[in-house]
Amino acid sequence: MQSGALSVISKTKKRNTLISNHNKGFSLIELIVVILFILLIAALLLPNLLDRVKDAKMSAEISEARMATLALQTVLVIDREKEEDTILNRTDIYDIRLTKDGLERVKELTGSPFGTLKEIKIDTNDKIISYKYRTVHGSLVEYMDGAYEVIDLH
């Protein structure tokens, strides 16, 4: 009788061994569910992340345009103190273009790579009314009455 009992115990051990070896990994369904869950989270977070990257780029471009505003205002003050138009080439009282010397002076004042100023408009007191600024990255920023707007972001 003991041999019969031993054979039952032996069969039970073999079955338990087979079952425990089978449960050591993940099933295909479990792996697919986990991958789908990760993809769902990525799909929900990606647009938010891209918006933040765009906002950061816009802030950087506006910051560069603000530096250009300060440098341009300084050039205007220097030009007025000299009482001659050596830095600015005034085509009329409201529309100015920087001369080569003036552009170099603005670049010196910013202390960093400098883009291109276009369509500069000032009033009779040399207060900047508006301009367009092409940044070193190629974005176009418009300054008008104290407000900056990124028109074309690169």
Amino acid identity at 135: T
* Residue 25 exposed, middle or buried by CB count within 10 Å (0-12, 13-18, 19+): exposed
Model pLDDT, residue 52: 93
Phi, psi (5° rounding) for residue 107?
Answer: -60, -40
Reduce the DSSP state of residue 154 to 3 states and report it. coil
Model pLDDT, residue 46: 92
More confident residue, 39 or 65: 39
pLDDT band for position 33 (cuts 50, 70, 90): very high
Structural domain for 147, as ranges: 2-152
34-43, long-range: CB < 8 A, 24+ apart: none
Task: Please state the domain count of the chain.
Answer: 1
Task: Say whether pTM exceeds 0.75.
Answer: no
